[in-house]
Amino acid sequence: DPGVHDNPGTDLQRVQIIKGWVDAEGISHEQIYDVAGNAENGARVDESNCNRIGSGAANLCAVWQDPEFDAKQPAFYYARVLENPTCRWSTLQCQAAGVNPFDEQCAAQAELANELAQTEKGADGDVYGKCCLNAAEQPFYSPVIQERAWTSPIWYRQATVDKVAKIEKVSP
């Protein structure tokens, strides 16, 4: 998403190809290949204000060939595109209220923001306490995220390839 003038989109960090297959013992495998961009591009967020630091790419393109392709091995492939890191929407809301999830004083900031929300806006309960969740203790929470998009898979089976080849030979 390139965004708009006042709200530009996030740069792309990298494109990956994910290959999956099941071996002869029935064990599933996945292999990830970085095919464009750079995972170590230095992009991050400024923890004091969530501004983006570093750059990525407006677009990425690559031609890729499976280095371990085996025509006898059924497999699937799909592409995944990752943006540079950004602050989670809730982190932006917390910071707008003066509560910084990255700050050691987060709990005190949340308490003050709660008091203001209750007295000035009629809020009830702990409005900003969750701003201070610790990502190390909450496995499904992080104040910084990395958006990603992926394609539908392409399935490869040699039997299907052979069948299509026979149809093409018969067709006028």
When the pLDDT of each residue in the chain is averaged and rounded to a whole number, the result is 93
**168 vs 54 pLDDT, higher one:** 54
Q: What is the mean pLDDT of residues 57-84?
A: 96
pLDDT of residue 171: 62
pLDDT the model gives residue 166? 76
Q: What is the CATH number of the domain that holds 164?
A: 2.60.40
Q: Are residues 75 and 152 in the same domain?
A: yes
Q: Is a pLDDT exceeding 70 seen at residue 70?
A: yes
Residue 165 reports pLDDT greater than 90: no
Identify whether residues 140 and 150 lie together within a single domain.
Answer: no
Residue 124 pLDDT grade (very low, low, confident, very high; cuts 50, 70, 90): very high
The share of the chain scoring above pLDDT 90, in percent, equals: 79
DSSP letter string, 113-164: HHHHHHHHH---S-SSGGGG--TTT-TT--SEE--EEEPPPEEE-HHHHHHH
The mean per-residue pLDDT over the stretch 81-109 comes to: 97
- Percent of the chain at pLDDT exceeding 70: 98
Task: Identify whether residues 101 and 30 lie together within a single domain.
Answer: no
Q: Are 40 and 64 in the same domain? A: yes
pLDDT at 6: 84
Same domain, 59 and 131: no
Q: Which of 47-51, 94-98, 133-137 has the lowest mean pLDDT?
A: 133-137
C-beta atoms surrounding 17 within 10 Å: 20
Same domain, 78 and 43: yes
pLDDT over 90 at 57, yes or no: yes
Average pLDDT over residues 110-135: 94
Q: Give the model confidence (pLDDT) of 7-37 as tens digits.
A: 888 999 999 999 999 999 999 999 999 999 9
Residues 98 and 34 in one domain: no
- 120 and 62 within one domain: no
Asked if 153 and 79 sit in the same domain, the reply is: yes
Same domain, 30 and 67: yes
Which region holds residue 8: left if phi is over 0, alpha if psi is between -120 and 50, else beta? beta
Is 12 in contact with 59 (CB distance < 8 Å)?
A: yes
Phi, psi (5° rounding) for residue 139? -60, -20
One domain, residues 31 and 81: yes
Residue 104's domain comprises 94-144
Q: Are residues 160 and 80 in the same domain?
A: yes
Residue 22: alpha-carbon gap to chain centroid: 25
Give the dihedral sign, CA 122/126/130/131: positive
pLDDT exceeds cutoff 80 at 102? yes
Residue 61 burial (C-beta neighbours within 10 Å; 0-12, 13-18, 19+): exposed
Per the structure, the count of domains in the chain is 2
For the entire predicted model, the pTM comes to 0.81
